[in-house]
Structure 1
Amino acid sequence: MSDAELTVTVDGPVATVVIRNPARRNAMTPAMWRQLPVLLDGLEADPAVRVLVLTGAGGTFCAGADLGDLDELLAAGDGSIAVAAEERLAAFGRPTVAAIEGACVGGGCQLAVACDLRLAAADARFGVPPARLGLVYPAPTTRRLAGLVGPSAAKHLLFTGELVDAERALRIGLVDEVLPADALADRVAALTTTIAERSRLTVTAAKEIVDGRADADRLAWWHAQVRDSGEAREGVSAVNERRPPRFGWTPPAAR
């Protein structure tokens, strides 16, 4: 039986997906790439889940994709199971946070960039190695990376395949925070608790708008939700009464 798997735990409003493949520094196998969208579908259907954390087991985030079946990889191109998993993660309807220790390389970096936020331990290392392998990085993945760090930094990562440390990753915008390794878990817990306490209406709308997935009709729908839900009235009342808000909006069924 393989030790390579994705495991899921749910603690209150926070779901955590852990990448486990100890023999390969948590490299993603084909089975794991296929498993991820299925797990995300299940978590998105759970109304109790408000935030998702993606992390790796044993002090390593993910050392990349398992390249064992190179012919399958070359034949798939941008239609690969890795790209499908990345796109599903990017489209997940709740905020996503990558908690990164150790290696975050190739497919691991691909998954981290598909998350909304990235928190890294000081020992984290990041790299995008296709130029060392003679591969073309998928177009959706390349565009997402460039949108995050800018064209110049993306080209440096892609042209060289070099590893960069956490401080440089922070400077170029690849990660949002860098913390001592022993402080990462507590900071992730505090951040996800804060997000889970905020208005789900605001957070969900903000994610759609920032990601460019809200057209004019959808924006009008969001503003109608604000008017009709009472969410804003509750927020203002809570501020005036100096108490925690009791937000109650929940997402309607998928449109």
Structure 2
Amino acid sequence: MPAEAPPSGGRLLVEEDGDALVVRIANEARANALDERILEDLVSLLGGPRPAAVRVVLLGGAGDRHFSAGLDLGDRPADELVAHLQAGERLLGRAARAIADCPRPVIGVLNGAALGGALELAMACDWRVARRGARLGVPAARLGVVYSPDGLRRFVAAMGPARTKRLFLTGRPVEADEALALGLVDEVAADDAALWAAARAAAADVAAGAPLAVEGTRAIIAAIGEGAPWEVIEETAAPARSRAFGSDDFKEGLAAFRERRAPRFRGR
């Protein structure tokens, strides 16, 4: 008889690191698989209040082998698996929306394999950095599953229809360098140390900007990316631009530019 899979003990590891909130998916016994607790905690964490000092969220996996193996299927019999998968998909969709709607930019740090629903979470991030050799893929077709449209649209937006079909219909995972060429990730780092260094450098660059400018720009880009009517895009842009132009941070940014010094933004 095959050995039983170890029980799931999923959790999030969360720590502040300067301007960044570092969040790691931790379920090491099951390749960081996404169980109910992890997904619910992601929704609560990213949708709730956070320290004012936090300007960026870095989302990675615990350890150095896996970002996450995707939804935790457990050892349920086939007649129970459909209901479990459907419930998991709904919770996964909520977690992906929490990432996309987070008031702070979220950078995906793919320190290892990102498969299935885990890759959907990564695609909801503002952008993604991957370690060379990390494998990314969605084996839905090989499991006999039709993927949710909400998840598919993120891939189509990043890769286009043809490349999304190739990824989903073949079920073949790609390594980080090919993922970069396909548009699945935006940067590849040589190893784990370089990966986190690149992620923290990106976080520092974002944190150096005015928070209201970052927030407003993200909202407008999101509306454009979702194909919103131009009137809706303008309705999103107008208050964001007005708030930024009327802010103390705009005055500070202008003064710092004229005085040739680094600005000190306060988010107001």
Query: What are the ranges of 5 or more consecutive residues in structure 1 without an aligned counterpart?
Result: 251-255
* Cα shift at 1:67: 1.3
Shift of 1:35: 1.8
Asked if residue 167 in structure 1 is aligned to residue 172 in structure 2, the reply is: no
Provide the C-alpha distance between the structure 2 equivalents of 1:141 and 1:8, rounded to a whole number of angstroms. 25
Within 5 Å, give how 1:195-234 maps onto structure 2.
Answer: 195-212=206-223, 215-234=233-252
Task: Tell me if structure 2 keeps the 8 A contact 1:101–1:123.
Answer: no
Tell me the distance in 1 between the aligned counterparts of 2:164 and 2:86.
25
Alpha-carbon shift at residue 117 of structure 1 (Å): 1.1
The within-5 A match list for 1:77-116 is 80-116=90-126
Q: Counterpart amino acid of 1:228?
A: G
Per the TM alignment, residue 130 of structure 1 is displaced from its structure 2 partner at its CA by 0.5
- 1:186 alignment partner in structure 2: 197
Percent identity over paired residues: 39
CA distance 1:77–1:50, change in 2 (3 Å): closer
Q: Which residue of structure 1 lines up, in the alignment, with residue 59 of structure 2?
A: 54
How far apart, CA to CA, are the structure 1 residues paired with 2:164 and 2:118? Answer: 16
Asked if 1 retains the 8 angstrom alpha-carbon contact of 2:106 and 2:125, the reply is yes
Aligned counterparts of 1:172 and 1:89: Cα–Cα separation in 2? 22
Which residue of structure 1 lines up, in the alignment, with residue 261 of structure 2?
243
Superposed, which structure 2 residues align to 1:148-159 within 5 Å?
Answer: 148-159=158-169
* 2:49 corresponds to 1:39: no
Shift of 1:219: 1.8
Compute the displacement of 1:75 (Å): 4.4
Tell me which stretches of 4 or more aligned residues in structure 1 moved more than 6 Å: none
Q: Distance in 2 between matches of 1:233 and 1:184?
A: 35
Q: How far off is 1:222 after superposition?
A: 1.5
Q: Give the Å deviation of 1:230.
A: 3.5
Distance 2:107 2:88 in 1: 27
Alpha-carbon separation, structure 2, partners of 1:35 and 1:166: 28
1:5 to 11, 21, 28: 11
- 8 Å contact from structure 2 (residues 219, 236) kept in 1: no
Q: Tell me how far 1:178 sits from its aligned partner.
A: 0.4
In 2, the alpha carbon distance for the partners of 1:87 and 1:222 equals: 21
Partner of 1:212: helix, strand, or coil?
helix
The CA deviation at 1:77 is 8.4
- In structure 2, what residue type is equivalent to 1:198? G
The residue type equivalent to 2:170 in the other structure is T
Structure 2 distance, partners of 1:75, 1:28, is 14
Assess, with a 3 A threshold, how the Cα gap between structure 1 residues 161 and 235 changes in structure 2: closer, same or farther. Answer: same
SS in 2 for 1:6: strand
5+ residue gaps, structure 2, are: 1-6, 225-231
Q: How many residues align?
A: 248
Structure-1-length-normalised TM-score: 0.91
> Could you tell me whether the CA contact under 8 Å between 2:36 and 2:88 is conserved in 1?
no
Give SS of 1:7's match.
strand
What is the alpha-carbon distance in structure 1 between the residues aligned to residue 110 and residue 173 of structure 2? Answer: 15
TM-score under structure 2 length normalisation? 0.87
Asked whether the equivalents of residues 77 and 138 of structure 1 are also in contact (C-alpha less than 8 Å), the reply is no
Aligned mates of 1:74, 1:37 — CA distance in 2 = 18
**Residues 22 and 154 from structure 1, CA distance in 2 versus in 1: closer, same or farther, beyond 3 angstroms?**
same
Report the counterpart of residue 67 of structure 1 in structure 2.
73
Give, in whole Å, the separation in 2 of the partners of 1:74 and 1:105: 15
